[in-house]
Structure 1
Amino acid sequence: MTPSLHVVGNVQLDVLASPVDRLPSPGGDDVIDHIAVRPAGAAGNVSLALAALGTEHRLFGAVGDDQAGRWVAQELHRHGVGADLDVVAGQETGISIALEAPGRERAFITAHGVLTRYGVDALPRHATVADFVLLTGYFSMPGFRGRGTYDLLERAREAGAFVALDTGWDPDDWTGSGAAEVLELLPLLDLFLPNEPEAIALTGAATAEEALEVLAAECRGWVVVKLGERGLAARGPAGEKIRLSAPVVTPRDTTGAGDSLAAGLLADLVRGAPVQDALVTGVRVASTVVGRDSLNRYPSRDELVPMEPA
C-alpha cells in the first residue's frame, strides 16, 4: 500500500510580473514583458507539482468564494487535487503579486484574505493523519502562527507522520517574533526546507553553510537549504552532509521553484527512496519548472531535466 501524503498550507492566487526593477512613477503606467495569473500559493504549487509527477496526495487549505477563489478551486479540481479545499463563504481569496527582474531577488506584495482568519481550529482533524505531512506557507497564514502550528505538528508526529515544514519569508523581515516561532518548531520536524535568505535570516549566520549547521543542531531530522540555481545543501540527523548542484537551464519563471523541489523530494520519499535519491529528484523537478512558462508549468517524471555528471 502506498504511504499517504497530506499537504497543508496557503492556497491562493498568484500574479507574476516580469521584469519589474522599479515601481512606476505616480500616475504612470510602465509596460513590461509578462504578467501571468495562476494558482495556487505554496501549498497549491506543491500539490500541482505532485499531481504532474503522478503522486497521490491530499491538499488542505482555504480560499474565499470570490471570483479568484472560484477560479483557483476550479483549476485545482481540474488537476484532481481540490477535493479537500475549504471554500469559505463571504471571504476574499489570498493573492500574492510576485515582482521579478534579472539579477535581483524576487519581491512580493500580498493580501492574505481568508487566510488571516483561517486557523488550525478550522483544519479537519484528519488533515494531520497521514504517513507524510507537509505544512508550507506558514508566514502566509497568519491564523496558523505560533502555538497553533506547534500543536498541529505535534499531533502529526504523535500519529506517526514524517513531518515537513517550509515557512516562506517572514513579512516582518525577521524583526519580530518570526524567528523564535520557527526555531521552536524545529525539534518537531523530520524535514525543514528553508531557502538561503531564510536560513541566513533565521540564524544570523554569514553563509548558507554556516546557517545549515546551526539549524541542523536544532532540528530532529533533515535540514535542506535551497540555493536556487546553485542547487541545495542538506544535513541529516546523523551528521550526513549532501551538496547537489542544479542542472543548467535557461530560467523562464523562478517563482515556485522551491515548492517544486519540495514536491519532487516528497514524491520520492513516499515511494520509499533514500533521502539522497529523493533530493536529486527534488532538484531535477525544480530545475525543470524554472525552465518552463506558466502555461506548461509542471513536468511528469519523463520530462525531468537530467542531472549534470558529478
Structure 2
Amino acid sequence: MAHDVSVIGLYILDVLGRPVERIPEGGNVEFIDEIRLTVAGTAGGTVVDLAKLGLNCLAVGAVGDDEKADFMLATMERFGIDVSGMQRLAGVPSSATILNVRPNGERPALHMRGASDHFDVPPSDYDTVLAPPIVHLGGTGLLRRLDGEPSRILLEEAKRRGATVTFDLIAANAETIVNVKPLLPYIDYFMPSVEEAGAMSGRSTVEDSAKYFLDAGVKCCVFTLGGDGAYYAHADGTRFQLPAYEIDVVDTTGCGDAFDAGFITALHHRMDPETAVRFAQAAAGLVATGLGSDAGIRSFEHTLDCMKMWKVKGR
C-alpha cells in the first residue's frame, strides 16, 4: 500500500520522568511517579502520532547501532510504521534526550546529538522518500549534515514532484533563519511556535512574523501559541486565531510534534482550514495530558471526538 506521508528528519529517544521537583544532591535518591521511553523528535514524535491517527507512514531518518536504536525501530514497527527509510549508522550513538518534567509541565532537557547529525537523504532515495503526497521535514537546527543546501535541494525536488510540503524545526533562534530562509519558497505549511517564528523573523507580533514568512515564499503559516491557541495565515489572505482547549497539562513534551501530526492528518482528510487547526490542537492537547510525545493519542476517531467535545478557553 502506498504511503500517505513521508516523515523526514530528527529521530530521538526520549527518557522522561515526572514529577521532578529537584535533582537530589550528591548520591541521594528522590522518588517519582512515572518514567517512560518514547520515540521523539520533530520527525520521530510526529510519525508515531501520525500512525496512531491512522496514516500509512514512511519514517526517514537515522539511528545509531545501539540499544536505543533497537527500541526506537521496534516501537515504530509496532505502530505499523515503515522503517525501511531509517538509516542505522555504525560508530555513532542514537540521538537521545533526558527530560526531567516539573510538576507544572515544564521540561528542562539534556540532549545528546548523535546519529541525526550524520543523516542525509541521497538522491538515489528520492523516488521512495518523495513518493508520498505529503512530505514532512522536521528537525532543522539539529540535522547538521542535512541542514542548509541539502534540505533546500530535497524540498525543491519534493515540490517538483507535486508533494505538499509541511515543515517544523527545533530550538530555533535568530541564527536559524540562515538555514531556513532558502527553504521557504518550497514550504506549503510552515509550523513553528510563535516564539521560534519571532526569533527567526525579528518581528514582535504574530501577524508581522507571518507576513515575513509569507513574503519570503511560504504558502501558509500555522503558528502554535501555547496556551493562547494557534494562528493561521495563508497567502490567499485567510487569517484567523483560535483559542486553546481547556485541559489539565501534565507534560508539554511533543505537543508541537502532535500539532504537526494532527494538521497533516487533517490535510490528508481534506478538512477546511479552521477544522484542520482545531484537529491539530486536539492532538496536541491529548499529548499534553500525559507523559511523553505520544501520550493521550489513541486514534483518529477519538481525537475527532475530543475536538468536538472539549471546552475552548474563554467560551
Length-normalised TM-score, structure 2: 0.87
Shift of 1:99: 3.8
Q: Which residue of 2 aligns with 1:139?
A: 141
For residue 161 of structure 2, what is the amino acid of its counterpart? A
SS in 2 for 1:98: strand
**1:241 matched residue in structure 2:** 239
Structure 1 alignment gaps of length 5 or more: none
What SS is found at the alignment partner of 2:145? helix
Name 1:308's counterpart in structure 2. Answer: 311
How far, CA to CA, are the matches of 1:66 and 1:122 in structure 2?
A: 27
Which deviates more, 126-135 or 145-154? 126-135
AA aligned opposite 2:191: L
| More deviation, 121-130/70-79 | 121-130
> In terms of mean alpha carbon deviation, does 118-127 or 47-56 score higher?
118-127
Superposed displacement of residue 57, structure 1: 2.2
Aligned residue for 1:144, secondary structure, equals: coil
Whether 2:277 is the aligned partner of 1:279: answer: yes
Partner of 1:220: 218
Shift of 1:49: 1.0
Equivalent-residue separation in structure 1 for 2:121 and 2:106 (angstroms) = 31
TM superposition shift of 1:252: 1.6
Q: Which position in structure 2 is the counterpart of 1:185?
A: 183
Equivalent position SS for 2:151: helix
Runs of at least 5 residues in structure 2 that lack an aligned partner in the other structure: none
CA contact (8 A) 1:73 1:82 kept: no
Asked whether the equivalents of residues 68 and 93 of structure 1 are also in contact (C-alpha less than 8 Å), the reply is: yes
- What is the Cα deviation at residue 28 of structure 1? 6.1
Q: Deviations over 1:236-287 (max 9, x none)?
A: 0112102111211111221011111111111121122222221111111111
Counterpart amino acid of residue 287 in structure 2: V
% same residue: 27
Retained in 1: the 8 A contact 2:6–2:135?
A: yes
Measured in 2, the distance between the counterparts of 1:105 and 1:289 equals 14
Structure 2: how far apart are the matches of 1:42 and 1:211?
21
Letter matched to residue 168 of structure 1: I
Cα distance change, pair 250–29 in 1 and its aligned pair in 2 (3 A): same
**Is 1:8 matched with 2:8?**
yes
State the partner residue of 1:151: 153
Q: Deviations over 1:48-68 (max 9, x none)?
A: 111111112211111112001
Q: CA RMSD in A?
A: 2.6
Distance in 1 between residues matched to 2:230 and 2:124, nearest whole Å:
32
- Paired residues of 1:2 and 1:271 also in contact (CA < 8 A): no
Once the two structures are superposed, the pairs formed by residues 45-56 of structure 1 within 5 Å of their partners are 45-56=45-56
CA distance 1:3–1:83, shift in 2 (3 Å): closer
Q: Does 1:116 align with 2:114?
A: no
Change in CA separation of 1:224 and 1:296 when aligned onto 2, cut-off 3 Å: closer
Aligned residues: 306
Distance 1:70 1:2 in 2: 25
Please name the residue that 1:250 is paired with: 248
Query: Tell me, what secondary structure is at the counterpart of 1:250?
Result: coil
Q: CA deviation at 1:123?
A: 7.7
Measure how far apart 1:135 and its partner are. 0.3
Q: Which of 155-164 and 83-92 deviates more?
A: 83-92
Moved more, 274-283 or 100-109: 100-109
